[in-house]
């Protein structure tokens, strides 16, 4: 019978992932060219993981189901940007897969990762390959193959990280804007670091895997767009919220739309020229909190300026 694991594995993995993302935040920010070259993917993924890690660190329970669920919900509240919201949904899918598990086996984790990948794809209105979505899908597929072969957790995570690394390296072949800029996908590589953290913990904290993707080129950050508008993020609270209607209505208000949650809480992320319309609609639905509005054009210009002197 295979060994099983409890919520301590997720606590340790999130703490390790936070440290890795802190270490590689600037690298991921430099890689960020899609969907907007505003240089914040590393920061957004770090903030999302920090929120989850801080929440579960306070838990005294060891239940895998409860720790995973708590981490996913905390990640949703702390999610920033496209990458952060998608990451929160990957964690939400994993938590759903482990919802009845006090302890989990490698096979359980493989099934949960498949749900995490499915949840991530369903979150995005127009899923694009060559992004974090490709990496999570291929990582989940590697988990399934390892589980079918009866792998233990350490072996499974080694297979997962190896496949994720290959997927990251292939992202420029799948997304032309990455190939043009000479970089790999920032969100995908951020997810790779999170999976590497899980591998480190599965190995008992022995030696961090040294495999890396090819060194990113940071001279190109994509062609300039006339205007990117604003990024608005917020949370809607209420009872009986029209979740599906909100996804449709907000989806008509801009690009890079991510609307996730349920009938009691909806997390919104959208790039739009009129953030006031998104906010007004949200206020019509319920109580609004955690409102963040950022000028994407200003962020892009600042990112370009910071890179202009770098070779």
Element (H, E) at 190: helix 186-202
- 261/83 Cα distance (integer angstroms): 16
Could you give the CA distance from residue 245 to residue 247 in angstroms, rounded to a whole number?
Answer: 5
The whole-model pTM stands at: 0.80
Is the backbone peptide bond immediately before 196 cis, with ω within 30 degrees of 0? no
Task: Indicate the pLDDT class of residue 209, thresholds 50, 70 and 90.
Answer: very low
Element (H, E) at 267: strand 265-272
Please give the radius of gyration of the chain, using alpha carbons only, rounded to the nearest integer.
Answer: 19
Domains, the chain, ordered by start: 8-202 (1.25.40.340), 230-307 (3.30.70)
Q: Among residues 300, 272, 310, 268, which one has the least CA distance to residue 285?
A: 268
Q: Which has the closest alpha carbon to 38: 232, 278, 294? A: 294
Decide: 175 and 129 in contact? Cβ < 8 Å: yes
What single-letter DSSP state applies at residue 206?
S
82 contacts 69 by C-beta, under 8 angstroms: no
Give the helix/strand (H/E) hosting 292: strand 287-295
Q: What average pLDDT does this structure show over 164-169? A: 97
Closest CA to 21 of 35, 40, 7: 40
Number of helices followed by number of strands (H, E) in the chain: 12, 4
Instruction: Give the integer Cα–Cα distance in Å for 21 and 17.
Output: 6
- With residues binned 3-state (H G I as helix, E B as strand, rest as coil), the percentages for the chain, rounded to 5, are 60, 10, 30
Give the dihedral of Cα atoms 6, 9, 11, 17; nearest 10 deg.
Answer: -160
Strand partners, 232: 270, 293
What's the pLDDT at 256?
85
Helix or strand run (H / E) with residue 48: helix 41-57
HSE-CB at 295 with a 13 A cutoff on CA atoms is 4
- Report the residue count for the chain: 311
Between CA 129 and CA 118 the distance in angstroms is 14
Dist. CA 252–CA 234, nearest whole Å: 17
Are residues 307 and 221 in contact, defined by beta-carbon separation less than 8 angstroms? Answer: yes
Computed over every residue of the chain, the mean pLDDT equals 89
Structure confidence by residue, pLDDT tens digits, 248-261: 999 999 988 889 88
Please say if the pLDDT value at position 1 is more than 80. Answer: no
Reported as half-sphere exposure (CB side, CA atoms, 13 A), residue 93 has a value of: 23
**Interval 83-124: pLDDT, tens:** 999 999 999 999 999 999 999 999 999 999 999 999 999 999
Q: What is the mean pLDDT of residues 66-79?
A: 96
| Alpha carbon distance 177, 82 (integer Å) | 17
For the stretch 268-291, pLDDT in tens is: 999 999 999 999 999 999 999 999
Taking the C-alpha atoms of residue 103 and residue 96, their distance in angstroms, rounded to an integer, is: 14
Given a cut of 80, whether residue 3 has pLDDT beyond it is: yes
């Amino acid at each position: 019978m295979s060994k099983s694991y409890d919520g301590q594995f997720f606590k340790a993995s999130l703490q390790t992932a936070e440290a890795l993302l802190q270490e590689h935040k600037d690298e991921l920010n430099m890689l960020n060219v899609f969907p907007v070259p505003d240089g914040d993917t590393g920061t957004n993924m770090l903030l999302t993981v920090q929120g989850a890690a801080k929440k579960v660190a306070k838990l005294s329970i060891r239940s895998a189901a409860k720790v995973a669920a708590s981490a996913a919900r905390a990640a949703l509240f702390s999610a920033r940007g496209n990458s952060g919201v998608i990451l929160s949904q990957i964690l939400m899918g994993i938590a759903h897969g482990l919802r009845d598990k006090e302890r989990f086996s490698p096979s359980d984790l493989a099934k949960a990762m498949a749900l995490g990948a499915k949840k991530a794809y369903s979150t995005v209105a127009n899923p694009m390959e060559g992004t974090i979505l490709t990496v999570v899908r291929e990582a989940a597929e590697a988990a399934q193959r390892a589980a079918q072969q009866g792998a233990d957790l350490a072996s499974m995570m080694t297979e997962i990280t190896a496949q994720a690394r290959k997927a990251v390296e292939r992202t420029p072949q799948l997304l032309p804007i990455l190939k043009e800029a000479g970089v790999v996908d920032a969100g995908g590589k951020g997810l790779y670091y999170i999976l590497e953290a899980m591998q480190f913990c599965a190995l008992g904290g022995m030696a961090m895997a040294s495999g890396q993707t090819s060194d990113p080129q940071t001279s190109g950050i994509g062609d300039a767009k006339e205007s990117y508008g604003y990024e608005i993020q917020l949370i809607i609270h209420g009872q009986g919220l029209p979740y599906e209607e909100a996804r449709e209505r907000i989806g008509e208000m801009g690009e890079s739309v991510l609307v996730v949650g349920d009938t009691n809480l909806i997390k919104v992320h959208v790039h739009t020229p009129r953030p006031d319309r998104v906010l007004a609609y949200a206020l019509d639905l319920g109580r609004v909190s955690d409102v963040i509005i950022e000028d994407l054009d200003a962020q892009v210009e600042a990112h370009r300026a910071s890179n202009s002197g770098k070779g």
